[in-house]
A and B are shown apart, each in its own frame.
Chain A
Amino acid sequence: MARMKFICDAERCIECNGCVTACKNEHEVPWGVNRRRVVTINDGVPGERSMSVACMHCSDAPCMAVCPVDCFYRTDEGVVLHDKDLCIGCGYCFYACPFGAPQFPQAGAFGLRGKMDKCTFCAGGPEKDSSEDEFRKYGRNRLAEGKLPLCAEVCSTKALLGGDADVLADIYRQRVLTRGKGADIWGWSTAYGKPDAPASQPAGGGQS
């Protein structure tokens, strides 16, 4: 049985936020909720890295462990989903999740949050596949349509990968082997010269 996973190739992510936009549009996610977001480390500093982050569908998900009403469940493919009919909006999952994946649509008096919302790996919820109820609560069920999460499919640089973990591991391994690491990255010497020798200055400014 295939195991669904996301992986973000930080060497490729260009912080375009296309994944975020596509997700919000596809699932008609309400205001104030972002199932996916792009995090940039060392923003503005040379060597900055960006990563697209959402629910990582953990194998031992802390949100599942802390939920007092046990509204989470895991599908055969390892996708962590939840039942909004059971969710009481307590927010425990939000505090437990190391990725900040659980989101709440409201911020009102008395801690009113509304039902938790999070990335479903485009796998819908417990309702009938592609039903109106399912779409209203969880968004589109692309897995049932024989597709993969839209965020991964629209990624222009294919930095964000989603799908069968075995296949993704193969793809990522191949990328690392091809591009090398650090200054050995494919195309580095073309762009910046060889790392151990200073790039030669073109005579006469290179203009004819």
Chain B
Amino acid sequence: MTKQTNLKRRHFLLSAGVGGVGAAAAVVAVRSSGESGPDAVAATEQDKRGYRMTDHVAAYYRTARV
């Protein structure tokens, strides 16, 4: 009877340990995905289109030279 109780306790500790490792892994995963935040921002910034030489801009420069 005592042995069975001990076994149950060990199962509980084992499951708690596995669960703890799982939770830690989940936290690491979340953090690593959080670290990819700047990458996401960088990707967004890359999507932003800034100045570039277009026909419109070239025409403006041409008229400004007059």
Report which A residues bind B (CB closer than 8 A). 2, 4, 75-77, 79, 123, 128-129, 143-144, 146-148, 152-153, 158, 161, 163-164, 167-168, 171, 174
Are A129 and B60 within 8 A (Cβ)?
Answer: no
User: With a CB–CB cut-off of 8 A, which chain A residues contact B60?
Assistant: 148, 152-153, 163
CA distance A202 to B63 in the complex (A): 38
The verdict on B64 contacting chain A, using a C-beta distance below 8 Å, is yes
4 new A-B pairs (CB below 8 Å) besides A146-B52, A163-B57?
A: A128-B44, A128-B48, A163-B60, A163-B61
Are B57 and A148 within 8 A (Cβ)?
Answer: yes
Cβ-closest chain A residue relative to B54: A146
User: With a CB–CB cut-off of 8 A, which chain A residues contact B8?
Assistant: none
The verdict on B3 contacting chain A, using a C-beta distance below 8 Å, is no
Can you offer 7 A-B residue contacts whose CB atoms are under 8 A?
Answer: A77-B50, A79-B50, A123-B50, A147-B57, A161-B64, A163-B57, A168-B64
Tell me whether A143 and B50 are in contact in the complex, defined as CB-CB below 8 angstroms, given that A148-B57, A148-B60, A163-B60 are known contacts. Answer: yes
The verdict on B35 contacting chain A, using a C-beta distance below 8 Å, is no
Cβ contact of A143, chosen from B47, B51, B61, B66, cutoff 8 A: B51
